Amino acid sequence: MTGLLPMLAGANIIYGLGMLEMGMTISYSQLLMDAEMAEMMLYGMDGIVVNDETLSVDVIKEVGPRGDFLSHMNTYENMHIQSMPKLIDRLTRDRWKEAGSLDMEARALAAARKLLAEWQPEPLPEEARLRVRAVINAAERDYGVPESSR
């Protein structure tokens, strides 16, 4: 959450996601947890639209005092507007236990492992690949790497 104050002050870059030990270590699970928190902060920084529609004034009038807003279709239709975290869990304790009692770190680690296992890099465009190869070849020549080792 150390990114919140700079973000509120107008900073447009927050570094340190996933860093542990003063940046000497990077944790994939910490990176995913930090990224989720940053997404939530960005959501808040975008501002919250306040008007009759977003306040659901008509629904408030319809349901009335002590009415059931949770089962109203308006709630279902608009709940997806809010941030929908993937790692922060909003289950009841009983459902959390039924789901295996995994804490956020365990869920983040599983998500990181899944990402690493399934990630397929897109190949570089041919022009970019040739330019990178030219830079490497030039550096190898400059540093005396024998032709046979290239």
Q: How confident is the model at residue 95 (pLDDT cuts 50, 70, 90)?
A: very high
In a domain, 84, yes or no: no
Q: How many domains does the chain have?
A: 1
In a domain, 2, yes or no: yes
In a domain, 86, yes or no: no
Task: Quickly list H helices, the chain.
Answer: 4-8, 28-45, 52-55, 57-63, 73-78, 93-98, 104-118, 126-142
Mean pLDDT computed over 79-95: 86
Local structure of 95: helix, strand or coil = helix
In a domain, 34, yes or no: yes
In a domain, 99, yes or no: no
pLDDT digits (tens, 9 = 90+) for 25-60: 999 999 999 999 998 888 888 888 898 888 899 999
Count how many Cα atoms sit within 13 Å of the Cα of residue 118 in the half-sphere of its side chain.
Answer: 6
Q: What is the pLDDT of residue 27?
A: 97
Expressed as residue numbers, the domain containing 22 is: 1-46
Q: How confident is the model at residue 24 (pLDDT cuts 50, 70, 90)?
A: very high
Closest CA to 55 of 29, 81, 94, 34: 81
| pLDDT tops 70 at residue 1 | no
In a domain, 61, yes or no: no
44 within 8 A of 8, measured Cβ to Cβ = no
